[in-house]
Structure 1
Amino acid sequence: MKIAIVGAGMGGLTAGIALKKFGHQVTIYEQTTEILPVGAAISLWSNGVKCLNYLGLTHEIQALGGAMESLAYVDGLNQQTMTQFSLTPLYKEVGQKAYPVARADLQNLLMQHFGPQDIQLGKKMIGIEEHAAHVCIQFQDGSAADADLLIGADGTHSLTRQYVLGHNVERRYAGYVNWNGLVEIDEGLAPAQQWTTYIGEGKRVSLMPVANNRFYFFFDVPLEAGLDNQRDQYKTSLKQYFKDWCAPVQQLIENIDEQKTNRVEIHDIEPFMTFYKGRVVLLGDAAHSTTPDIGQGGCQAMEDAIYLARALQINTFGLEDALNRYQNKRNERTREMVLRARKRCDVTHMKDRQLTEEWYQSLYQEQGTHIMQGIISNIVGNPLD
C-alpha cells in the first residue's frame, strides 16, 4: 500500500519503520521545517523497548539508554530516603530493561532507520478528502498528496483526530507545570544509576540517567494555567517554588541551563474509542493524549505503531477490517493508561491533601513490591508479550 503518515514524532517514525519492513511505500509529512525533539527525554519502559527490539534496534537503543538499576523516593525537604530498591526483579519479570533516553538521540535514531529521504518537511496539513479508493491530503503550501491510507500521528493538537471524530476535542489541564532538561550526572544530586524522585508539598523533582553521563531532570509544580513563561526567569521561579527544599534540589536548580530547559503546562484528553474513519486512522497522542505521570505516552504510541503494522499485514479481509481490529485492540488499553496516569497525577500533585499525605507515609513502608507491580501492570498487555 501507499501510506502517508502525518507527524514525524516517535509514533509516526516507529510506524513508518514497521510498515516499510512489511513492504509498504511510506512517506512522512511533517509540518515543521526542522525536526526538533519535544521535551528533553523519554521514559522508555520495557514495553517501548520491546517495540524497538522488534524493529531490529536492540543494540542501538541499549547504547542510547541510561543504566537505571534502582528507584528511590526521597523527602524533598529533609532529604530522608523514604524507599529505595533494585529494579532487577521488575526487569526479570517482564523480560526487558527500561532505558530512559534523550529524545533527540531517539528521534535521530528513528529518522535514520526510517530514511530521511522519505520525510517531507514544511508540510502542514490543512485538509483531508476521502475518495472511494484513496485519501487526498491537502497542505498549507498548496500541494497535495494521495495515499491508500492516512495515519494521523500529529500529536495532541491533531487535525486528523478532528476529521475522524467529526468535532474538535478540548484538552484538559492536569493542574501542574513541568520543567525538564538534561544536566551532567553529579552524585551529589543523586546516584548515577538510579531513578531518584524528591517529593513533598504536592511537588516533584526527578532525576533519571540517560546516555553520555547525563541526568534527565524534571520539576513538577501545581500551578494555574496561563502564567508568564519567561525563560530567563526559570531558575528564579524554581528557587521560589522549592525554597525550603534540600541541598541536592537547590544544586540541581543551579546546574540547569535555562536556554535548554523546557517548560510545559501538562494536559490530557478525555479518552474516546473511535480511532479510524474510512481510510484515516489515529496513532499516539492524536488517539490518546495522556499526562506523563506513569511514563507511558511514548511507549503507547510505539505499541500503536507495531500493532497497526501487524494488523495490516496479517489480516486479509481488507483495510477496514484491519483498522477495526487495531482500534478494538488498542482503545481499551490506551484508555486505561490515560486514566491511570490521571489518577497518579492527582495523588502526586495533591489534588486531595489527605490522599497525598497517605501516599507519602506509605512510601516509608514500601519495599518495592507494590510500586514495581504497578509499573509491571502498565507494561504487560503490550502487543509483543
Structure 2
Amino acid sequence: MNVVIIGGGVAGVASAIALRQQGFSVQVLERHREKTNIGAGIVVWPNAAFVLDRLGVLAEMEAVSGRPVAMRRRSNTGEDLGSLDITLIDSQMGYPSLSVLRTDFQDILLRRLSSLGVEVDYGAAVERLVTSEAGMASVRLATGEVIEADIIIGADGRMASRARLYVNGDNAPVYQGFINWIGVVESDAPMFDDIAVTDYWGVGERFGIVPVSAHKGYWAGGAASMAIQANAPDRYKAEVEALFASWPEAVRRVIDATPAQRINKIHVHDHDPMARWHRDKVIAIGDASHASLPTSGQGACQALEDGWHLANCLAGHPGDPRRAFEAFTGLRFEKTRGVTMAGRAIAASLFSRDAQACLRRNEASKASDFSALAAGMARGWSQHLPLAPTRNQGL
C-alpha cells in the first residue's frame, strides 16, 4: 500500500517511521523548503517516551535530554504554590519524562526516518486533495504535479491544513486570546541547579522555564491579548523583557541570557474538537485533527501516539482503510478531546485578568494533593497504551 503523508512535523514523521516499520511504502511532503522548528522545546511525557521506544529512538533521545524530577509552581512574586513530583508519574507509567530542545527532537526523528530509506520532500506545497470514483486518492501540488496514493495522511498542522479542509469542510483555527514568547537559552556557565520545570503564575501572564541540562533550557512567557499583532522579530526580546521586568530573578536571568534571534512569538490557536477525522481515503492526524494548546503539555506527545496507533490500525486491517480509520478514531477521539479541553481550561485559569480569581487559583494550588494529581495524569496519559510500570526502574 502506497501512503502519502502531508507534513514533515512530529505527526507526519512519526507516522512515516511507524508505517515503514510495518512495511508500507511512504512518501512525506513538506511545504516548507527546509526543515523548520516553530517551538523551543518539548517535555516528552512517559506516554510519548513509550512511542519513541517503539520507533527505535528512545535511547538516542535520552542522550540529548534532561530528566525533570519536578514541576514547581510559583507566583510572579516567588511564592511557593506547590510542586508535582514527576518521578511519581514516571514510575506509574514505566517510562521516563524527558526535556529536549525541539531541534534535537526533530533531528532524531528525521535521522530515524532516513535510516528506513525515506527522505522528506521539502518545498512540496499541497494545493488540494482529490479522490476518484475508482477509489484512488491524489495530491495536487502548487507546481501542478499530481501524486497518487492508496491513502493520504494529513499531518499538515493547525493553521491551514488541507487535510482538515477536505475532511471537515473547514480548517479555520481558533485564537485563544493569549500570546507566547518562546526562547532557547544556552550558556558556558551553569544556569540551572537541577532539572525541574518551574511555572510562574501572574494575573493574565505566566512564565515557564524548562532546563535540559545545567547549561541549557527553554522557556515560554505568555500573556493574555485579544489582539493579533503584526510580527516584529526585532522587538520580541524587548517586549518580553518589559513584560516580565518585575518578576523573579530566575525569569529575568533566562530572558537576559537568551539571544534575540532565538526568541519567537506565537499568537496561540487551537481547534474545536471535530468528530470526523477521515473522508474517503484521507485521514487527518496530529494538529490537523486535534490541535491542543501548549498548556495541555501533550501536543507533541499526542502526535507521536497518533503515528504509532495509525500504523497499527492500518496493519491490522490490510486493504481496508475505512475500517482502519474507524478503528483509529475510535481509539483516539476521546483521549485527544480531553487533552484539548484540559488545555483550554488551564489556559483560561492562567491567563485570567481577574486578580481575585487568580488569587483563588493560587490558594487552590497550594492546597492541592499533588500525589493524586500525578496519579490522575498517569492514568489519563496511559490510556490505550500497553505500559509496564516496572520498566522505569531500570532507566
Query: Residue 160 of structure 1 corresponds to which residue in structure 2?
Result: 163
Alpha-carbon separation, structure 2, partners of 1:117 and 1:362 = 50
Alpha-carbon distance, 1:163 to partner: 0.6
Residues 99-149 of structure 1, C-alpha deviation per residue, up to 9 Å, x if partnerless? 121111111111111127532111101021112232111101121111101
Could you tell which deviates more after superposition, 186-195 or 282-291? 186-195
CA contact under 8 A between 1:74 and 1:83: conserved in structure 2?
A: yes
Alpha-carbon separation, structure 2, partners of 1:257 and 1:145 = 42
Residues 241-282 of structure 1, C-alpha deviation per residue, up to 9 Å, x if partnerless? 223222222222211211111100111111111011111011
Residues 150-198 of structure 1, C-alpha deviation per residue, up to 9 Å, x if partnerless? 0000001201110111x22322111111011211369996533111112
Alpha-carbon distance, 1:317 to partner: 7.1
Give the 3 Å change call, closer, same or farther, for CA 194–105 of structure 1 in structure 2. Answer: same
Give the 3 Å change call, closer, same or farther, for CA 186–86 of structure 1 in structure 2. Answer: farther
- Give the residue type in structure 1 aligned to 2:167: V
Query: Residue 131 of structure 2 corresponds to which residue in structure 1?
Result: 130
Query: Residue 255 of structure 1 corresponds to which residue in structure 2?
Result: 257
Give the 3 Å change call, closer, same or farther, for CA 207–326 of structure 1 in structure 2. Answer: same
Give the 3 Å change call, closer, same or farther, for CA 163–32 of structure 1 in structure 2. Answer: same
Residues 332-366 of structure 1, C-alpha deviation per residue, up to 9 Å, x if partnerless? 21111111111111011116554432221123334
Give the 3 Å change call, closer, same or farther, for CA 350–289 of structure 1 in structure 2. Answer: same
CA contact under 8 A between 1:232 and 1:258: conserved in structure 2?
A: yes
Give matches, 1:76-115, under 5 Å. 76-77=76-77, 79-115=78-114
Give the 3 Å change call, closer, same or farther, for CA 343–85 of structure 1 in structure 2. Answer: closer
Query: Residue 37 of structure 2 corresponds to which residue in structure 1?
Result: 37
Residues 302-323 of structure 1, C-alpha deviation per residue, up to 9 Å, x if partnerless? 1111111000112357221111
Moved over 6 A (4+): 185-189
Give matches, 1:341-380, under 5 Å. 341-350=343-352, 353-366=355-368, 368-380=370-382
- Give the residue type in structure 2 aligned to 1:87: I
Alpha-carbon distance, 1:290 to partner: 1.2
- Extract unaligned runs of 5+ from structure 1: none
Residues 69-95 of structure 1, C-alpha deviation per residue, up to 9 Å, x if partnerless? 122112222x23222353222211111
Q: Percent identity?
A: 26
Selected match of 1:201 from 194, 200, 203 = 203
Give the 3 Å change call, closer, same or farther, for CA 84–22 of structure 1 in structure 2. Answer: same
Q: What SS does the corresponding residue of 1:182 show, helix, strand or coil?
A: strand
Give the 3 Å change call, closer, same or farther, for CA 207–52 of structure 1 in structure 2. Answer: same
Give the 3 Å change call, closer, same or farther, for CA 32–317 of structure 1 in structure 2. Answer: closer
CA contact under 8 A between 1:185 and 1:214: conserved in structure 2?
A: yes
Alpha-carbon distance, 1:27 to partner: 0.6
Give the 3 Å change call, closer, same or farther, for CA 190–375 of structure 1 in structure 2. Answer: farther
Alpha-carbon separation, structure 2, partners of 1:367 and 1:332 = 26
CA contact under 8 A between 2:186 and 2:217: conserved in structure 1?
A: yes
Alpha-carbon distance, 1:382 to partner: 4.0
Alpha-carbon separation, structure 1, partners of 2:345 and 2:355 = 14
Give the 3 Å change call, closer, same or farther, for CA 110–155 of structure 1 in structure 2. Answer: same
Alpha-carbon separation, structure 1, partners of 2:234 and 2:337 = 38
Could you tell which deviates more after superposition, 187-196 or 116-125? 187-196
Alpha-carbon distance, 1:230 to partner: 2.1
Alpha-carbon separation, structure 2, partners of 1:16 and 1:220 = 33
Give the 3 Å change call, closer, same or farther, for CA 261–217 of structure 1 in structure 2. Answer: same
Give matches, 1:190-339, under 5 Å. 191-210=193-212, 213-316=215-318, 318-339=320-341
